[in-house]
C-alpha cells in the first residue's frame, strides 16, 4: 500500500443535524494553494468559450492529425435508437486507445459548465499524439470514450438543462404555466425518467459500451474554505457518497473502496500544483449528496431501462467540480486557463493511475486525508436528509 500524507483533520466539529440550521456555507479544511478565483461578472466572456460548432471542428481536426488513431462518430452513425438532441443536434463521441477495457469520460452535461469540453479536447489531443510513457500506458490499457458535450442544446443556450422540443413545429414544449419544459439531464437516468431524447441516446450507448470506469466533469459555485476564506478551485466527489447509505452495498463494497482510491490518487497528483486548491465535494452545512437519479449513479447501480442493460452492467465513477459557471456570471477570463488546466491534469492522472494500477495500490483511507467538511448527513433524492 502507498503511504498517505499526514491527515487533515477538520477544525470544526458539528454534532447532530440540529446544528445544521445554525451553519452557513460550506465548511472545509485548509486546501493549501495560492489559487485564483474567476471574477464574477454580469457579462461573462462567453465568446472565449468553445461552442458546439467549435467542438465539431476541433474533433475533426484532432481525428485528421492524430498519430495514434482517434475515431470521431455521432450516435446517428453508431445507430442508437435515439441519436439526436431534443433540438436535433448530433451527439458526438471520440475514442482513442486499443485496450479491451472501455472508459467513459463525459463533459458539459450541464450546459452552463463549459470546462469539461475544453479539458476533454486537450486530453484527447494529447492521447492521440503523445508518445510519452503514461499516454502509451493509457492507450494500451483502455479504449477511452470521450463525450465532450453531453448536452449540446443546453450548452448553446447557456443553461443548465435541456429544453424539451416540439420538432414538428420547431418550438419548445411548454408547461401549463406557459414556461419551457426543461429537464436536468443529470437527474434523468432513473426508472421513471428518460424524459429527454439525449438521456435515452446516451444511456443506450453506455449500455453498448459497458465501460469499466467513468468520469463526469462539472462546475460548482465559488466555494471558499470556511476557516481561511481561501478559494477552493476544485472538488472531488461522487453522487453516491462513500460510506453513505448506498455505495457500500454495491459490488460487495468494492465501488466504495475504488471511489475513495480514485479520488485520493487525483488529489495526490494535483495538490502540489500552485494554482489548484482542492477538497472533497459537499453541498454545505456538513451535507454530502447521495443521489440515485444521477447519470453516474445509475451506472454504479446497474440500471436496466427498457431492457437495454439486461445483464445489469455497472461501473464505478467519480466526478470533478470546478469553481464558477456561466449562469452565475462567475466564469471570468482571468482564471480560465488555470481552471481548464486543473481538469486536464486531473483527467490524465485519473486515467494513468487506473491504467498502471497505482489507484488500486492506494489505501482507501486516503479519502479521509482529502480536505473536507465534517460530514453530518446525506442529502438524497429518495429519502430527504439522512443523518450519519
Calculate mean pLDDT across residues 171-199: 97
The full set of domain ranges for the chain reads: 17-387
CATH architecture under which domain 17-387 falls: 3-Layer(aba) Sandwich (3.40)
pLDDT category, 47, cuts 50, 70, 90?
A: confident
H or E segment at 116? Answer: helix 115-129
* Most distant pair of Cα atoms in the chain: their distance: 61
pLDDT category, 262, cuts 50, 70, 90?
A: very high
Q: Packing angle between helix 336-355 and helix 115-129, nearest 10 degrees?
A: 50
- The average confidence (pLDDT) of the chain is 90
Cell of 248: 457500500
Question: Which segments within the chain are labelled E, that is strand?
Answer: 71-74, 92-96, 101-107, 142-147, 162-163, 165-166, 171-172, 182-183, 213-220, 234-237, 278-280, 287-290, 317-323, 377-380, 385-387
Cell of 212: 469499466
Cβ count near 170 (within 10 Å): 9
- 14-18, 43-47, 319-323, 371-375: least confident range: 14-18
Predicted confidence at residue 44, as pLDDT, reads 64
Predicted confidence at residue 291, as pLDDT, reads 97
Predicted confidence at residue 312, as pLDDT, reads 98
Predicted confidence at residue 226, as pLDDT, reads 75
- 46-60, 97-111, 207-221, 310-324: least confident range: 46-60
Q: Are the CB atoms for 28 and 372 separated by under 8 Å?
A: yes
pLDDT digit string, tens, across residues 233-259:
999 999 999 999 999 999 999 999 999
pLDDT of 5 > 60? The answer is no
pLDDT category, 2, cuts 50, 70, 90?
A: very low
Amino acid at each position: 500500500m502507498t503511504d498517505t500524507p499526514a491527515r487533515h483533520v477538520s477544525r470544526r466539529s458539528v454534532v447532530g443535524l440540529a446544528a445544521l440550521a445554525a451553519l452557513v456555507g460550506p465548511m472545509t479544511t485548509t486546501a493549501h494553494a495560492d489559487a485564483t478565483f474567476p471574477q464574477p461578472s454580469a457579462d461573462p466572456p462567453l465568446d472565449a468559450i468553445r461552442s458546439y460548432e467549435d467542438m465539431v471542428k476541433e474533433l475533426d481536426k484532432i481525428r485528421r492529425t492524430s498519430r495514434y488513431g482517434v475515431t470521431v462518430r455521432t450516435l446517428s452513425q453508431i445507430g442508437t435508437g435515439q441519436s439526436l438532441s431534443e433540438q436535433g443536434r448530433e451527439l458526438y463521441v471520440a475514442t482513442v486507445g486499443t485496450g479491451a477495457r472501455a472508459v467513459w469520460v463525459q463533459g458539459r452535461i450541464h450546459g452552463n459548465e463549459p470546462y469539461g469540453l475544453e479539458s476533454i479536447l486537450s486530453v484527447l489531443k494529447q492521447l492521440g499524439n503523445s508518445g510519452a510513457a503514461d499516454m502509451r500506458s493509457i492507450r494500451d490499457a483502455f479504449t477511452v470514450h470521450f463525450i465532450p458535450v453531453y448536452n449540446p442544446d443546453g450548452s448553446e443556450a447557456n443553461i443548465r438543462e435541456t429544453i424539451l422540443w416540439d420538432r414538428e413545429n420547431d418550438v419548445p414544449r411548454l408547461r401549463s404555466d406557459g414556461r419551457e419544459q426543461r429537464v436536468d439531464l443529470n437527474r434523468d437516468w432513473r426508472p421513471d425518467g428518460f424524459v429527454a431524447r439525449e438521456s435515452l441516446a446516451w444511456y443506450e450507448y453506455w449500455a453498448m459500451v459497458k465501460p469499466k470506469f467513468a468520469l463526469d466533469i462539472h462546475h460548482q459555485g465559488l466555494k471558499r474554505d470556511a476557516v481561511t476564506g481561501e478559494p477552493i478551485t476544485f472538488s472531488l466527489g461522487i453522487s453516491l457518497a462513500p460510506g453513505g447509505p448506498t455505495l457500500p452495498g454495491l459490488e460487495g463494497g468494492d465501488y466504495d473502496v475504488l471511489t475513495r482510491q480514485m479520488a485520493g490518487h487525483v488529489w495526490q497528483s494535483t495538490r502540489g500544483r500552485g494554482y489548484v486548491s482542492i477538497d472533497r465535494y459537499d453541498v454545505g452545512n456538513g451535507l454530502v449528496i447521495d443521489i440515485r437519479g444521477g447519470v453516474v449513479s445509475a451506472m454504479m447501480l446497474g440500471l436496466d431501462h427498457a431492457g437495454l442493460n439486461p445483464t445489469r452492467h455497472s461501473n464505478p465513477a467519480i466526478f470533478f467540480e470546478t469553481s464558477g459557471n456561466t449562469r452565475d456570471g462567475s466564469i471570468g477570463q482571468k482564471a480560465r486557463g488555470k481552471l481548464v488546466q486543473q481538469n486536464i491534469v486531473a483527467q490524465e492522472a485519473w486515467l494513468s493511475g487506473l491504467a498502471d494500477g497505482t489507484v488500486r495500490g492506494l489505501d482507501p483511507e486516503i479519502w479521509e486525508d482529502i480536505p473536507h467538511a465534517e460530514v453530518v448527513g446525506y442529502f438524497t433524492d429518495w429519502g430527504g436528509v439522512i443523518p450519519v
